[in-house]
Amino acid sequence: MNETPERNSPVHMPVHESFNLSVIVFLTVCTQDHKPLLARKEIHELLRSIWSEAGYWVVGRYVLMPNHLQLFCAPAGVEYPSLANWVRFWKSRVSQAWPWPEEQPIWQRSFWDTQLRKEERYSEKWEYVRQNPLRKGLVSRPEDWPYQGEMNVLEWHD
């Protein structure tokens, strides 16, 4: 019998680049043991600040849920570290600056990432992500969720 082995963590494929095509990655990062730590004004501000200083990759649209965050990101320039290194960097910086030490550890070890291949996928994924607070009963309209935003416009180029 040929059984597929179970994966304990996601496989992070290198970013695939093609001449003049956009590189946009959809990322999901969860808190350790799915603790509801993220949907707070202080954490929203902290993440935005650290993402701004992290460089190399830029954050586009994002939504912070209580126990995970989802965002779209893209390389900031021609040369950039791997997505895994960038995520490791900002997760570490957020953990160091976390205002409530008793809540450590903050992050689940890995993350889930998908490189988008078509503009429609970007629009579809964003609509799904922005509906998360509504689906979870946290707001009556997605636009009422205070822990979301767009730091950089990530444009799709074919």
Q: What is the mean pLDDT of residues 146-156?
A: 92
State the pLDDT at residue 119.
66
State the pLDDT at residue 76.
87
Percent of the chain with pLDDT over 70: 84
State the pLDDT at residue 1.
47
Q: What are the extents of the domains in the chain?
A: 25-150
Q: What is the mean pLDDT of residues 92-108?
A: 97
Question: How many other β-carbons are positioned within 10 Å of the β-carbon of residue 149?
Answer: 15
Q: What is the mean pLDDT of residues 18-38?
A: 86
- Could you tell me the strand order of the sheet in which 57-64 lies? 112-115, 25-30, 68-75, 57-64, 148-150
Closest CA to 99 of 50, 28, 34: 50
Between 21 and 80, the higher pLDDT residue? 80
Q: Is the pLDDT of residue 103 over 80?
A: yes
User: Which CATH code is given to the segment(s) 25-150?
Assistant: 3.30.70.1290
- The structure tokens 């636009």 sit at 143
